Amino acid sequence: MKILIVDDEKDVEFLFRQKFRKEVRAKEFDLVFAFSGDEALEALESENPPKVVYVFSDINMPGMTGLELLEKIKSKFPEINVSMISAYGDTENYDKAIKSGAKEFFTKPIDFEVIKAEIKKFINSQ
């Protein structure tokens, strides 16, 4: 089971790897990273069907925004869960994300315990 993290800030990979090292070592899931919306779509389209089951995407990225990525993922891969992460907890982005099919909406700084709980809840529902 793969989880894709999409963020244009490269240090996010280090944070996720550090916070989830125990779960990855225990082979509960694999973490995959993309640093743009286009890179994320390439990763999803590289396997048919995609092995990624959950995507966590930043909203504010250069090029394709996280909200645009969300819409593309939901139209091509409706079975993949997508949650959005934003530095801004504004209601406009929240409403757009939820209306476009986002499962959850998280704000930065990321509370990794909340993200872990979301992933575990998802895994247990499978």
pLDDT digits (tens, 9 = 90+) for 46-85: 998 899 999 999 999 999 999 999 999 999 999 999 999 9
How many residues would you count in the chain? Answer: 126
pLDDT class of 88 with cuts at 50, 70, 90: confident
**Coil, strand, or helix at residue 84?**
strand
Q: State the CB neighbour count (10 A cutoff) for residue 4.
A: 24
pLDDT value of position 90: 82
Residue 89 reports pLDDT greater than 80:
no
CATH number of 2-117: 3.40.50.2300
- Tell me how far CA of residue 24 lies from CA of 20, 30, 32, 45, 116, in angstroms: 6, 6, 11, 23, 12
CA atoms of 112 and 101, how far apart (whole Å): 22
| Domains in the chain: boundaries | 2-117
- Tell me how far CA of residue 84 lies from CA of 25, 110, 116, in angstroms: 25, 11, 14
